[in-house]
Every structure is written in C-alpha cells, then in structure tokens.
Amino acid sequence: MGSMILLFMDYRYQKGQFEVLAKKIDDEWNLTSQEGEWVSPLSEMNWNQESQRELIKWVADRFPPFANTNEPIPKLFLKSEIKNKAIFFGGSFNPWHMGHRVSLDLCPAEPIIIVPDQNPWKEVHERQNIWSYYLDICRKVENSNFSVYPGFLLLDRVNPTVDWLLQIKLDSKWLLIGEDTFLGIEKWKEASQLLHHLKGLYVSPRGQDPKLVEEQRVKLKKQYPHLFIQLLDHHDYEDLSSTELRKK
C-alpha cells in the first residue's frame, strides 16, 4: 500500500490542535495530531473553531474551478473533473432537504457544484460545527456526481452571485435555481451583467404560479436571446422550505 504525503498547511497548529501534514493512502485521507497519530478529517470529532476553518480553507484552496490547482482532494468533496462547463447550485441549505436533492436529480446536465453561499450559523456559531455541516451535505450527495464547494462558508458577509461567478474561468457557466428565485432574479445585484455572462438557467419548480413563471421565461429570453432556460419537471417536494423547516 503506497502513501502520498501532502502539505496540509503552511504553519503548525498550536498545542492540542492538528499538525500541518495530510496523507493519502489509497482513497483514505488523514491528518496528524501532535502525538503523531493519524486522524481522518471525515471523522465525527469535536474540531475546534480554528481547525474547522483551516479544514474548510484547505478544501477550498484545492477546489477547481474556484482555485487554479491540480492538487488532489478527497472525492467526497469533488466528484468529477471540471473542464469548460459547470452548473452552480447555490443556497444556504440550512437545513438541507429533499427538495434540494430532487432538484439536483432532475437537472439534465453535469457537472453540478453545490455552493453553500453564506455562513448558516452566523447567529449561532457557538453551538454549531461548520465542518460537520459541510460533511453532512457532502454525505447526503455521496452516491452521486454532485460536488460541494465549501469556500463561502467562511464568509461573514453577503455574497452576491455576480461577485464570484464572473471571476471563474470557464467557457460555460450555468445556474440551477428555484422558481421563486427565477421570478426575482432581475432584482439581484448587477443582474443584467450576470445574465449576459451566463450560458443558461435550469429552473426547479417551487409551487409558483405557472403563468408567472412562463411570462418570466419569455421576458428573459427576449432580453437575453443567448440564455438557455429549461423549466424542470414537477416533483413531490416543491413546497419544502429551509426557512419554514428552521421554524419548527
């Protein structure tokens, strides 16, 4: 059994935290502790806040197309090679629910990158574990081709799509969004620039008025003739809402 040693961080953690090395043995990734024992970053353990942020940053810094690198990362996070095209599925996903998964399954194209686009515990960060949250989403789509980018979980500010999508160097960029978002997309920051930049939209049903959705599709196609818009099939979880689930 061969092993490959990779630099995990560019500095050492303080006592009681984890060292700077990661290793890959076949498909198993591990970190080393001060005592020299290897511990899987995928294990359920009580990572402190600094370690969680470093783990997220380590994945994000090696995650194409957000980072220009060929360094390997666990397949649990990045499922397929990203070349000239990607479909981005953004949201807080707090909590993740079946409506999210069915929307992904209905999307007819790949590769899809799930992009949690804001810190879901900025109000309860002392009681939550950002690394476990990321792993939870990854495991919910483990038996799929859907990748999950974690970099924006480190942000403590609003993160408009136009601010990051235009920076990504891909020939073909798409969004997977819900009908409610689709109806309000022209209110997004620099929406016109964003829509000119996109190749297309996949729109998942969310129980909106079909007439309004079709009117919006026709209007956007008239304003942006290049923009491919596909309305996805209806499903049984259209009424699920993360906001409503958090209230329960």
The verdict on 53 and 36 lying in the same domain is: no
The verdict on 146 and 190 lying in the same domain is: yes
For residue 92, the number of C-alpha atoms closer than 13 Å in the C-beta half-sphere is: 16
In whole angstroms, what is the distance from residue 179 CA to residue 185 CA? 10
The verdict on 56 and 26 lying in the same domain is: no
The verdict on 227 and 120 lying in the same domain is: yes
Strand 112-116 versus strand 147-148 pairing type: parallel
Per-residue pLDDT tens, the chain, 248 aa: give them.
Answer: 233 333 333 223 333 444 434 555 445 566 554 445 556 677 666 777 777 888 888 889 989 999 988 877 888 899 999 999 999 999 988 888 899 999 999 999 999 999 998 654 455 554 467 888 899 999 999 999 999 999 999 888 889 999 999 999 999 999 999 999 999 999 999 999 999 999 999 999 999 999 999 999 999 999 999 999 999 999 888 786 666 555 56
Q: Is 10 left (phi over 0), alpha (psi -120 to 50) or beta?
A: alpha
| Overall number of domains in the chain | 2
Strand 85-91 versus strand 172-178 pairing type: parallel
**Sheet (strand 228-231) strand order:** 147-148, 112-116, 85-91, 172-178, 200-204, 228-231
In whole angstroms, what is the distance from residue 17 CA to residue 229 CA? 48
Radius of gyration of the chain (CA): 19
In whole angstroms, what is the distance from residue 241 CA to residue 194 CA? 26
The verdict on 172 and 226 lying in the same domain is: yes
Enclosing domain of residue 59: 49-247
The verdict on 36 and 53 lying in the same domain is: no
Q: Quick check: 241 and 217 in contact, CB under 8 A?
A: no
pLDDT for 201: 99
The verdict on 12 and 63 lying in the same domain is: no
The verdict on 114 and 186 lying in the same domain is: yes
The verdict on 96 and 1 lying in the same domain is: no
CATH of residue 152: 3.40.50.620
The verdict on 120 and 3 lying in the same domain is: no
pLDDT for 14: 37
The verdict on 94 and 22 lying in the same domain is: no
